[in-house]
Amino acid sequence: MATKAQHYDYLVDKVVAKLHPWKARLLSPAAKVVLIKSVIEPLVLYSMGAGSQWDSSKLVNAIGFHASLYLACVFKIPPLKPDVQDRLIFKPAVSGNFSYKGACNLLEGSVNQSTVGSGIWKAVWDCPGTLPRTKMFIWKLLHDAIPVKASFSKRLRTTAPPCDVCGLDADDAMHALFLCPKARQCWLASSLGLRVDMLPQQIVPAMVFFFQQLDRQQLVLFANTLWSFWKARCKEVYEGKKIMVHQVLWDAASLNVLTNFIEVPFGRKNSLNNAATPSTQLIPDTGKVCKMDGSFKEGEGAGWAYTLYDNNVLTEYGLTAGEAICPLHAEMLALKAALHATMQHDWLEVIFYTDCEVIIKVLNGLLPPETVDWRVYTLALDIISIMKFHSNFSCYHAPRDLLRQEHDLANLARLKDLNVIGYTFPLFSGM
């Protein structure tokens, strides 16, 4: 049986004979290729044979050749496979063979091009404040490939079952991470304050929207919150542990600190000196310094106090009596009051000192979340949020002996139920 190339030999010979007298002198190699292509392309072969003969009716009615000369030339060409019958082909498939998968993809419109630009992929992999597993999770989200029930149902061609957390809507990626009531609470309570009802209803356009609208700082917090919520959701679905919004936000804030995104030192190594270290070496005499302490006693309430110094000169002190649930809570309330006081003075660079080592551990995410009350979590999140926007704020640990005055003021606020802000000493000589 003759090969396919042999069937076309006579056409090639005729074209070569026509072009040979002048092509060598006038045309470049590229021009020769273009010329040959323009001559051969009108002689397109259409395999419309019935058995081993051409089907004249199909050629005339379907192809649209009107020149009898062209039809005569076509009829002279023998079919490439004389013993093969005409057959229908499935155009969406490259092979022409029909498949259920190809038909379903055609009906669902799932054969499309990615809407994720190269700049977004670069932002995902180059984001410096996220862990590798967080980047991989976002990469899967942008491919709509996380393991939710809708993904499995799509492969099995069945209806997606409802969400395991709320039981309301279909369990797809968009619902699981944004539209579920628990997810809505989480995003609204975060420092981003996202209103998810304003987002696109598909996960890939929603993710593209975030990467286009959020700045670098917000994007890192968004990614860490997304990963923390996904972990909490998996624990509820597979282990039965309920999602706690405050713990999700705390985990996200801890990831920000651990990945060095928040460039605020919470207790540097050189500040954790021995108690015998002279105060002049631990607490500087220059610059802006804030010292604080909290006091708590079961049944007697709580009190906290702070003092602000500018170049070792007292600028302000504050005493507050209130409610706390534990000593750590009182210490955290003292730090928050000190932060607000420094911001009212418009101080841009401040060193805070506390005698509570647990605060340093909490701010650095070194304390297991289950060992700290959720109200302390919430307060810690507020503190981290404040310090995040004041990159020159730092918090160190100091021995109790160096914060004796603040300790006495905190006890005084608790015992006397005082809420006082002052600017000079002494004020309490008569008490």
What is d(CA 239, CA 317) in angstroms, rounded to the nearest whole number?
Answer: 49
Express each pLDDT in 243-276 by its tens digit.
Answer: 888 778 877 776 665 444 333 334 433 333 333 3
pLDDT at res. 57: 63
DSSP assignment, residue 160?
P
pLDDT tens string for the chain (431 positions)? Answer: 456 566 667 767 777 776 666 555 566 666 666 666 665 555 444 444 444 566 666 555 545 545 555 666 766 777 666 666 767 777 777 677 877 777 776 665 554 444 567 778 888 887 777 788 888 888 888 887 888 877 767 666 667 778 888 888 777 888 888 888 888 888 888 878 777 777 887 888 888 888 888 887 788 888 888 998 999 998 888 888 888 887 788 777 766 654 443 333 344 333 333 333 333 335 666 788 999 999 998 888 899 999 999 888 888 999 999 989 888 899 999 999 999 899 888 888 888 999 888 888 777 766 666 666 777 877 887 787 787 777 778 888 888 888 888 998 999 999 988 888 888 765 554 44
- Of 329, 216, 229, which Cα lies nearest the Cα of 262? 216
- Of 403, 404, 386, 296, which Cα lies nearest the Cα of 341? 386
What is d(CA 254, CA 250) in angstroms, rounded to the nearest whole number?
Answer: 6
Spatial neighbors of 320 by CB under 8 A, at least 6 apart, are 303, 304, 305, 333, 337, 413, 418, 419
Q: Give the pair of three-digit tokens for residue 40.
A: 């051969």
Burial class (CB in 10 A: 0-12, 13-18, 19+), 204: middle
Are 350 and 387 contacting, i.e. CB atoms less than 8 angstroms apart? no
Amino acid type, 336: K
Sequence length of the chain is: 431
Express each pLDDT in 363-414 by its tens digit.
Answer: 776 666 666 677 787 788 778 778 777 777 888 888 888 888 899 899 999 9
- Of 275, 291, 263, which Cα lies nearest the Cα of 393? 263
Spatial neighbors of 207 by CB under 8 A, at least 6 apart, are 116, 138, 141, 142
DSSP assignment, residue 3?
-
DSSP 46-92: ---EETTEE-HHHIIIII----HHHHHHHHHSPPSSTT-------TT
Spatial neighbors of 77 by CB under 8 A, at least 6 apart, are 7, 45
Radius of gyration, alpha carbons of the chain? 37
Taken in order of first residue, the domains within the chain and their CATH numbers are 119-258 (no CATH), 269-422 (3.30.420.10)
pLDDT at res. 359: 83
